[in-house]
């Protein structure tokens, strides 16, 4: 391999790679999502030579696409069509500079203390209470300007949710988000053309580059170089954006390796690297999601559904019951996909789109577990997961509560989206059927973009893959930073928590490196 | 004897799957004429003319839309979606349309038969069949409702936004391009951030 090393503070893109190459660094970070970006920034700021590797390309506003299908095909893994087997569920995961932050809705939520208390007691984690993490949450929040969504960018879609919750005495609140100067264009999912969302590609990553971090995009890491208790770097190939065709080989030698490739990719990388860091047998196991169910409500008047923060109001009132409620923006055409029927009946319903809002619930399905396994000659994993019957009941309950909130907010009808039940419900009484419906998993239309636990943190090396600082048990210099290290699903949106954990990890790494 | 039966079946299968599709002259990156015919037939059945929307499914060039979508999908997913189209086109052998000729391929059915077939998929007791219909509808609805004319008629067109340039925009070239293609025009947003105002409009690329 020849050396065609990048320069400090440089970003490399697909067209920059003309041959095989090698690099050296103090720390190599694999994956530029929220976790990897925070680690890269903190270490670069501390003066270390950092190489941040990302498989996807950087996107600028000209590259964003309004069309849902095409946008997902460009920014997400497996063209946006990745799904689980067992219980079928689409799962959304990014492949781009900034990872999930480029196409997520910027919700930044700190889980309440009881979540961490469960983590501590069940997984022998002595230093991972909410109080332990608060300074790290604060640091990330300050960096990204995280603040509650102001009233003037809420729009009717979000405010009606508050109105419905108020009428029922359910606590709700504006969502904290990592945005600066958002005007409520609601386009978070396809990339923020207004450049208000502080996704990693425009926040942490450029700042890391100012401190000398080298950012190598369009590189697919295919293996971790391991030598006993130590690892020596990573290797892989250049990959063409979108087509996924691989070409030149590369190797980055580093004293420290941080895997932040996401909860699905990191276990696959370990499995493909000779089953690295798996003395516990837990790599790729314990997979959990927050499956989401969306309910649509049609109001008597137009509610200007495209205006307002993407997901700007929420209720944490049901967290202990196992679900969280949120508002949701959807491109009109994607919203239309919720409409039941075919032919004239369907087209007629499209006319209701200006009066339709969509709200969703994410469920903490602790009982529903799965696995992630490497596929032969591919880094796309086989994902097996089964929705537990008790968790299905929790999801149905969340749908019922959303229907109640819609009616309390003045909706004239609700589309619960539950197979085997009426497409539309016109009153609270009709919605009562949701209370005791004998639901099966095939009746639910669900999807998830929150994934956890495949390299879980555990105080006991026999039961987990990493310790509280994210270091792989049994290794001196191999770390994992992504949401795979969560010991259990956090019940709220995970981005802020994975960044807080990454911030803590980076601080301990700074001392060691 | 069995040989003759097998050959006859093979001829019938080839005829059903490949032959008899009219050439429309449309040029596609991915779609074959048989897929174009199926998509056109499904679009006409799903989205008939209606006073609320200016375009019917038949007029919205949904085969063209599906072709653009398929072209950006990875190979495995592209194959799966094409298999979905083929499934609908030929599942009439298992779940035929009502009346005479109900076993013909979907695109050769009468309009009311096609609608009936789609209704059967929708109300099927098999969750997998309902899921397949949802997948097909999702692709076509995104193309149909997302069509600029449909959005304009519903007054739901995307905002007109002139993206401000942030520092990072001076770092990243267009995807697939070289760094010397980064536009140097404009200044990076400095100081207090101000996103641009939202204006009703439609300035994103046509689908
Ligand atoms: C549509 C959507 C909406 C969401 N909304 C919210 C929200 O509002 N709030 C919230 O808290 N969370 C939200 N999430 C979830 C949140 O974005 C993720 O939990 C978060 O991005 C996880 O960060 P991560 O660093 O663990 O992994 P990721 O963000 O997945 O980043 C991993 C990165 O590693 C790269 N990578 C993977 N494999 C390789 C390899 N072999 N070589 C090189 N690079 C590789 C990937 O391309 C990716 O960029 C949303 C997610 C999605 C998809």
Q: Which of A29-38, B52-61, B78-87, B183-192 has the weakest average pLDDT? A: B183-192
Cβ atoms of residues A239 and A55 within 8 Å: yes
Q: Is the CB of A220 under 6 A from ligand 1?
A: yes
Q: Which residues of A touch B204 (CB under 8 A)?
A: 64-66
DSSP A159-222: HHHHHHHHHHT---EEPEESBSS------GGG--TTS-B--GGGTHHHHHHHTT-EEE-SEEEE
Q: What is the pLDDT of residues A34-74, one digit of tens each?
A: 999 999 999 999 999 999 999 999 999 999 998 889 999 99
B189 touches chain A (CB under 8 A): yes
Cβ atoms of residues A414 and A428 within 8 Å: no
Q: Is the CB of A39 under 6 A from ligand 1?
A: no
**In the predicted model, is pLDDT for residue B201 greater than 80?**
no
Q: What is the pLDDT of residue B185?
A: 78
Cβ atoms of residues A409 and A167 within 8 Å: yes
The distance of A295 to chain B (nearest Cα, Å) reads 16
Closest CA to A353 of A365, A338, A336, A370: A336
Q: Which residues of A touch B52 (CB under 8 A)?
A: 347-348, 350-351
Average pLDDT of span A351-356: 95
List the structure tokens of A486.
Answer: 């969560």
Residue B86 makes CB contacts below 8 A (sequence gap 6+) with B17, B35, B38
**Quick one: closest CA in A to B44, which residue?**
A343
Q: What is the pLDDT of residue B189?
A: 67
Q: What is the pLDDT of residue B206?
A: 38
Query: Which atom of ligand 1 is nearest the CA belonging to A99?
Result: 49
Residue B157 makes CB contacts below 8 A (sequence gap 6+) with B148, B151, B200, B201, B202
Q: What is the CATH number of domain A11-50+197-280+453-512?
A: 3.50.50.60
Q: Is the CB of A36 under 6 A from ligand 1?
A: yes
| pLDDT band (50, 70, 90) for residue B204 | very low
Q: Chain-centre distance of CA B125, in angstroms?
A: 26
Q: Which of A170-184, A194-208, A311-325, B5-19 has the weakest average pLDDT? A: B5-19
Q: Which residues of B touch A442 (CB under 8 A)?
A: 127-128, 131
B22 touches chain A (CB under 8 A): no
CA–CA distance, A367 with A286 (Å, rounded to integer): 10
Average pLDDT of span A169-192: 95
- Taking CA atoms only, the protein residue closest to ligand 1 atom 37 is A261
Q: Which residues of B touch A423 (CB under 8 A)?
A: none
| pLDDT band (50, 70, 90) for residue B192 | low
Q: Give SS3 for B57.
A: helix
Question: How many CA within 13 A on the CB side of residue B98?
Answer: 9
Q: What is the pLDDT of residues A293-333, one digit of tens each?
A: 999 999 999 999 999 999 999 999 999 999 999 999 988 89
**Quick one: closest CA in B to A16, which residue?**
B178
Q: Chain-centre distance of CA A216, in angstroms?
A: 22
Cβ burial, residue B25 (10 Å; 0-12/13-18/19+): exposed
ipTM: 0.90
Query: Which atom of ligand 1 is nearest the CA belonging to A34?
Result: 25
Domain coordinates in residue numbering, chain A: 11-50+197-280+453-512, 62-114+147-195+287-451
| pLDDT band (50, 70, 90) for residue B197 | low
Cβ atoms of residues A274 and A226 within 8 Å: yes
Do residue B173 and residue A13 have CB atoms under 8 angstroms apart?
yes
Contacts with A, B 128-157, CB within 8 Å: 128, 130-131, 134, 137-139, 141-146, 150-151, 154-156
Q: What is the pLDDT of residue A1?
A: 61
Residue A311: C-alpha distances to residues A174, A358, B194 (Å): 9, 10, 20
Q: Chain-centre distance of CA B175, in angstroms?
A: 24
Residue B35: C-alpha distances to residues B22, B46, B75, B81 (Å): 11, 16, 17, 11
**In the predicted model, is pLDDT for residue A3 greater than 60?**
no
The distance of A219 to chain B (nearest Cα, Å) reads 13
Q: What is the pLDDT of residue A2?
A: 53
**In the predicted model, is pLDDT for residue A282 greater than 90?**
yes
CB count within 10 Å of CB A225 equals 17
**In the predicted model, is pLDDT for residue A175 greater than 90?**
yes
| pLDDT band (50, 70, 90) for residue A109 | very high
Mutate to test the interface with A, among B51, B67, B71, B166 (most CBs of A within 10 A): B166
Angle of helix A68-75 relative to helix B127-145, nearest 10 degrees, comes to 100
Closest CB to A73: pick one of B72, B145, B154.
B72
**In the predicted model, is pLDDT for residue A511 greater than 80?**
yes
Q: What is the pLDDT of residues A460-510, one digit of tens each?
A: 999 999 999 999 999 999 999 999 999 999 999 999 999 999 999 999 999
Q: Which residues of A touch B140 (CB under 8 A)?
A: none
Q: What is the pLDDT of residue B199?
A: 64
Q: What is the CATH number of domain A62-114+147-195+287-451?
A: 3.30.560
Average pLDDT of span A146-168: 97
Share of chain B above pLDDT 90, in %: 62
First-to-last C-alpha distance (Å) of chain B: 54
Domain coordinates in residue numbering, chain B: 7-153, 160-197
- Mutate which of A14, A29, A33 for ligand 1? The one with the most ligand atoms within 8 Å of its CB, which is A33
**In the predicted model, is pLDDT for residue A415 greater than 90?**
yes
């Amino acid at each position: 391999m020849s050396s065609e090393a990048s320069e400090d503070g440089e970003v490399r893109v697909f067209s920059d790679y003309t041959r095989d190459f090698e690099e050296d660094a103090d720390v190599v970070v694999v994956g530029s999502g929220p976790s990897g970006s925070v680690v890269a920034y903190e270490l670069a700021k501390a003066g270390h030579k950092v190489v941040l590797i990302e498989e996807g390309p950087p996107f600028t506003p000209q590259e964003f696409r309004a069309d849902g299908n095409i946008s997902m095909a460009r920014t997400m893994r497996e063209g946006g069509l990745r799904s689980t087997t067992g219980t079928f569920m689409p799962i959304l995961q990014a492949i781009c500079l900034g990872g999930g932050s480029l196409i997520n809705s910027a919700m930044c939520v700190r889980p309440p203390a009881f979540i961490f208390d469960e983590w501590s007691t069940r997984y022998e984690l002595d230093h991972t209470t909410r109080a332990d993490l608060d300074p790290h949450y604060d640091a990330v929040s300050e960096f990204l300007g995280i603040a509650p969504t102001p009233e003037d960018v809420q729009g009717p879609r979000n405010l009606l949710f508050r109105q419905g919750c108020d009428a029922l005495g359910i606590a709700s609140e504006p969502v904290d988000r990592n945005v600066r100067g958002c005007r409520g264009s609601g386009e978070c999912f396809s990339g923020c053309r207004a450049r208000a969302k502080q996704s990693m590609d425009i926040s942490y990553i450029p700042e890391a580059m100012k401190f000398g971090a080298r950012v190598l995009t369009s590189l697919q890491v295919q293996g971790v170089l391991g030598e006993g208790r130590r690892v020596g770097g990573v290797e892989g190939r250049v990959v063409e954006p979108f087509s996924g065709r691989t070409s030149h080989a590369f190797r980055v030698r580093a004293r420290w390796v941080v895997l932040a490739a996401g909860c699905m990719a990191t276990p696959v990388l370990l499995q493909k690297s000779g089953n690295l860091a798996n003395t516990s047998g837990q790599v790729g196991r314990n997979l959990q999601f927050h499956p989401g169910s969306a309910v649509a409500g049609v109001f008597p008047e137009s509610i200007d559904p495209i205006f307002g923060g993407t997901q700007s109001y929420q209720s944490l009132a049901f967290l202990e019951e196992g679900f969280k409620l949120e508002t949701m923006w959807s491109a009109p055409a994607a919203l239309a996909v919720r409409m039941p029927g075919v032919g004239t009946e369907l087209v007629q319903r499209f006319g209701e789109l200006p009066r339709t809002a969509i709200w969703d619930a994410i469920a903490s399905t602790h009982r529903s577990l799965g696995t992630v396994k490497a596929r032969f000659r591919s880094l796309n994993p086989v994902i097996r997961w089964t929705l537990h019957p008790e968790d299905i009941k929790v999801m149905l309950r969340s749908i019922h509560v959303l229907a109640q909130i819609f009616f309390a907010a003045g909706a004239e009808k609700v589309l619960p989206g539950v197979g085997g039940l009426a497409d539309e419900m016109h009153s609270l009484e009709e919605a009562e059927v949701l209370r005791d419906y004998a639901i099966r998993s095939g009746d639910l239309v669900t999807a998830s973009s929150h994934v956890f636990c495949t390299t879980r943190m555990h105080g006991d090396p026999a039961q987990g893959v990493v310790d509280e600082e994210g270091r792989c048990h049994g290794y001196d210099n191999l770390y994992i930073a992504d949401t795979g290290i969560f010991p259990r699903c956090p019940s709220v949106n995970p981005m802020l928590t994975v960044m807080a954990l990454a911030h803590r990890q980076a601080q301990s790494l700074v001392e060691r490196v | 004897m069995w040989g003759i039966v097998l050959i006859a079946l093979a001829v019938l299968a080839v005829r059903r799957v490949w032959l008899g599709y009219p050439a429309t002259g449309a040029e596609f990156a991915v779609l074959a004429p048989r897929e174009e015919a199926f998509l056109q037939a499904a679009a006409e059945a799903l989205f008939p003319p209606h006073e609320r929307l200016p375009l019917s499914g038949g007029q919205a060039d949904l085969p063209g839309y599906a072709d653009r979508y398929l072209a950006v999908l990875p190979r495995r997913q592209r194959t799966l979606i094409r298999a979905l189209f083929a499934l609908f086109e030929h599942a009439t052998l298992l779940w035929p349309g009502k009346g005479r000729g109900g076993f013909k391929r979907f695109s050769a059915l009468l309009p009311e038969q096609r609608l009936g077939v789609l209704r059967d998929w929708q109300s099927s007791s098999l969750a997998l069949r309902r899921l397949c219909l949802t997948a097909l509808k999702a692709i076509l609805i995104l193309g149909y409702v997302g069509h600029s004319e449909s959005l304009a008629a519903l007054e739901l067109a995307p905002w007109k936004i002139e993206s401000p340039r942030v520092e990072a925009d001076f770092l990243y070239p267009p995807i697939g391009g070289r760094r010397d293609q980064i536009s140097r025009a404009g200044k990076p947003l400095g100081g207090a951030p101000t996103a641009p105002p939202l204006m009703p409009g439609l300035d994103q690329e046509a689908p």
